Chains A and B, each alone.
Chain A
Amino acid sequence: MSATMTHPGPAARPAPARRPPVLLHPSAKPLLFVACLLPFAWLLYGALANRLGANPAEALIRATGDWTLRFLCLTLAVTPLRSWTGQPALARFRRMLGLFTFFYVVWHFLAYAWLDMGFDAAAIATDIPKRPFALVGFAALLLMLPLAATSFNRAIKALGAARWQALHRAVYAIVLLGLLHFFWMRAAKNNFGEVAVYAAVVALLLGWRLKRRLQRRD
């Protein structure tokens, strides 16, 4: 035996392959949870401290909409990222990201209904159909309701995995409606720079799925 083996030096550390992956660490989920709440906390602080600019209502409605789209992209990125990075453990974060998408879309709708419409149900009911872009956004919100409602384990069991998965494919319709909502909103000012960025991300995420599906068929 060589002398080096008797010393608990650097070589004695467990090999990287054996170390429990960071993604499986018990604190990974709580940390992600807090991270997902940061935009909300920042907006809440901005609203209370009056630091959202000249038109805080507009700023809140837009920011919650932006974060809905971002979380939607993050949720849809989980599966491709598992494949690209070889980290299947990423899957354990998908539900939380999906539910945070729902969390931000609910705030997006509440901000509109409250700050823009003063919770006047009749005014909201006439306003939404009047504006195609609002109607499309509202449709996406409605489609998200059954997904959020069936996000817990017992719902998966009750529905059966196949039916549950079929239902949750609605996310593809949701992201396309969300993108159309954003595109239409910006169309009023021909301002498509940011829309193009989101469209490119969504095209990548959905295109990867399409390609995989076609390859499986071959």
Chain B
Amino acid sequence: MHHLRDRGFVHPLPSEITPRAAYEGRRDLLKHLAGGAAGAVLAAWAGRDALAQAARPGKLAPLPGVRSTVPGAMTMEKLTPYEDATGYNNFYEFGTDKADPARRAGTLVPRPWTVAIEGEVKKPRILDLDALLKLAPMEERVYRLRCVEGWSMVVPWVGYSLAELIRQVEPTGNARFVEFVTLADKAQMPGLRSSVLDWPYVEGLRLDEAMNPLTLLTFGLYGEVLPNQNGAPVRVVVPWKYGFKSGKSIVRIRFTEKQPATSWVKAASQEYGFYSNVNPSVDHPRWSQATERRLGEDGLFQKKRPTLMFNGYEAQVAQLYTGLDLRKNY
């Protein structure tokens, strides 16, 4: 389904859609090739493609997930190398340089861990990590990640829709927003000494955004548990919004009636709005958002690629914003 400015959404004819069995069969075929039916060279090449989605890097404990069937959840784009996805991070609790989190997040203790679910819910509770891990089946989801700074990645996450958790705690009729609070422990997070943001880091979504099946409660990437620098042991990933909307190392999920005061809105409301949907036609005051650099893939001298509306998830999420002026609600 493509959204064209002058024609609205264009749906393919049913006859044009590749049957699921056919495209899934392609992967099986490649696996068979890899199994030895073809020559060694061809097998190596084919095997690479068959396993391309999230071959385990073998660094951390495995966390397998089944291929997600949520629409839009499995982009076929080339994955960002594990080293880049785990070595180039914004996680200011460990420093503002992109290399700081990978270097300094070793002090984070991701177990034992609890997440308090509170506020406007009928069943508030404190869940420990094991309870969270068992709450719903793990899925692998390959999402584009677009940072507000103008770079992007493609990351195979492991987790389940946040909606699974939300349904279990039963929001009250007053719940309109969900607030995510990141751990703020000076002993574990050296970056908290800097006053760059008002700690703890707070992010938030409208309840309907949080309920969208693409909003992922995330426990792993590349088939393994999250490395500390990527927000261990549990974070959210909201693929159609700029990366900073996806809070890391979450200790509290609070349901509220009022829009949460999120960290970047508090720090610079002229530059960062509550919505922060990826939008190539609404520039950051200091730079254009029309294009992006895909890390680990686009060559140094390659032109930057165009940024997609809602980061390419327009078909899945555009209906959330019907009637909303996205230029005002940036």
Contacts and interface: CB of A to CB of B under 8 A. Distances in A.
A190 B195 contact: yes
A118 B304 contact: yes
Contacts of B304: 116, 118
B269 interface: no
A114 interface: yes
Contact of A54 (B92, B97, B285, B296): B296
Given A189-B196, A190-B195, A190-B196, A56 B300 contact: yes
A126 B266 CA distance: 28
A87 interface: no
A53 interface: yes
B275 interface: no
Given A130-B287, A131-B286, A190-B194, A57 B96 contact: no
Contacts of A118: 303-304
B87 interface: yes
Nearest to B196: A190
A130 B284 CA distance: 10
A123 B290 CA distance: 11
Interface string B292-330: 010110001101100000000000000000000000000
Interface residues of A, number: 20
Given A115-B300, A118-B303, A55 B98 contact: yes
A127 to B, nearest CB: 7
Interface in A6-62: 47, 53-58, 60
A165 interface: no
A115 B84 contact: no
Contact of A55 (B83, B88, B92, B301): B88
B321 to A, nearest CB: 26
Nearest to A118: B303
Nearest to A132: B286
Contacts of A188: 286
A45 to B, nearest CB: 13
Q: Which of B84, B88, B286, B300 has the most CB of A within 10 A?
A: B300
A130 B271 CA distance: 13
A47 B288 CA distance: 25
Interface in B84-106: 84, 87-88, 92, 96-99
Interface of B: 83-84, 87-88, 92, 96-99, 151, 194-196, 285-288, 293, 295-296, 300-301, 303-304
Given A54-B87, A115-B300, A190-B194, 11 more contacts: A53-B99, A54-B296, A57-B300, A60-B300, A118-B303, A127-B287, A189-B96, A189-B196, A190-B195, A190-B196, A191-B194
26 contacts: A53-B87, A53-B98, A53-B99, A54-B88, A55-B98, A55-B151, A55-B295, A56-B300, A57-B293, A58-B151, A60-B300, A114-B301, A118-B304, A123-B288, A127-B288, A130-B286, A130-B287, A131-B286, A188-B286, A189-B92, A189-B96, A189-B196, A190-B195, A190-B196, A191-B97, A191-B194
